[in-house]
Structure 1
Amino acid sequence: MEGPAAAEVYDTNRFSQLYHASRRPSPEHLGLAADFLFSLFDRHSILFAFLGGWAVYLRGGSRRTEDVDVSVDTDMDGLTAILMPEERICVPKTHGNTCIQVFVHTGGRWDDEFSSIPELPVSVDIIICGNLGIPSNLSEATEMITPTVSVDLGLHTGQAVPVIDLYHQFSTKLHVHYERRNNGQTDDYVDLEFLAENYSPEIWRLHPYLNRDHRLAFWQDFAIRHHDEYDRVEHMEMILGLSS
């Protein structure tokens, strides 16, 4: 007689398999993983918010991301207690107390309504709030948005989704871009450009609370990339509160 369903516990060898299988997921796979997490956390009354590139994508950004980032308002013991009974989740054999990387199976037999989508494990980073730059009071740093039509698949159509608020999203992206800009990593730059140009009134209102060196570094890179678009560069300078 089989016991109750349970999460797969992966070791380093299995991690390599899951990691390589999870590369380049489609937006549909990411949406299905996010929808599962939404239902799981909601069922257990755990406050959560999506972060990072996936949160930007939910806002309408075009950059493709390869994983889902989410923060939860519980401790690691509370988190693992709800993860372990879930058959479609793979959890690491060892992990710390601040964050955990899991994989969520999507498509095929895991999603009856979307069974035509090929099965694929989606990488998910779950961060306990109060760590890695996430505020300890997650409720005050969360806003509800309705995802764009282009990312509705896998999420209930028209359903509001919790994401980290614009201040924390933008300030974190500014900081990471500032630290990585000389390494040729452009993902954070792309997200910053989207957020600044699509939420320009909000960013302008927030600019006094954002690090000036970080704002200046982003604007300098923006000006180089768009050197032949004077009005656009000047407008970005104004949005970031850098114009004299």
Structure 2
Amino acid sequence: MTTKNCKSYICFGHEGKEVRKPLPSWLFFEEKMENLRDYFDRHASSWDEMLKYNDRTSELLEVVSWFGLAQGHWVLDVGTGTGILLPLIRQKIGPKGMLIGFDFSFKMLEKAKLRQCPGGKILINATVESLPFQFGIFDQIICFSALPHFPNKLKALLEMVRVLKSGGSLYIAHLKSVEELNEFHQHIGGPVAHDLLPHPERIRSLMMESGLFEIKIINQPEKFLAQGSKI
């Protein structure tokens, strides 16, 4: 039996006959994740310049002001990328706080490692669908410019809520509205072309389903913020 390379089907040649079967969903998921990881690894060295983060300090400071950060907080930055928010978060939580940056792109984390962050940071390379933390340890979880890239958004949110303390908050934030962000990703094309931020009401539904309450959503030009608390 021989196997042919097919993107959407597994093709088997047997006794002169070809049998086509749909690829199982887990293979699509794995292929999607590998394509995304490769995309972010390849662009890690120029990511901050590509998004002009170095010229947007005031905007990033405003983003961090949206979060309910306080001295001594334990904070998880999901999809930290090059760690652009880490020094700003550290300023809010002080030297006694715990700051962990988490990303599935090793090359992005290599850039984050080089970022100055007085007070320290911990960087972890893994996937959001299986966070390597015990139940209920973080005061705040921040998901900045990352949610569209998670193929299974509900599973990702469930994992984030699992490691969130009772009384803690989860923040989903972007420097663009839903409409602006989705247009931007479609314009970029490639593996992120279909990485879209759901409609605000769909996000509200996903957050509620993941176990969050007191959900607040702001969707306006150059700002998206969704906040939910764990009871």
The TM-score range, normalised by the shorter chain, is: under 0.3
Which fold has the larger relative contact order, with Cα–Cα distance below 8 Å and residues 6 or more apart in sequence? 1
Q: Which has the higher helix share?
A: 1
Q: TM-score, normalised to structure 2's length? A: 0.27
Q: TM-score, normalised to structure 1's length? A: 0.26
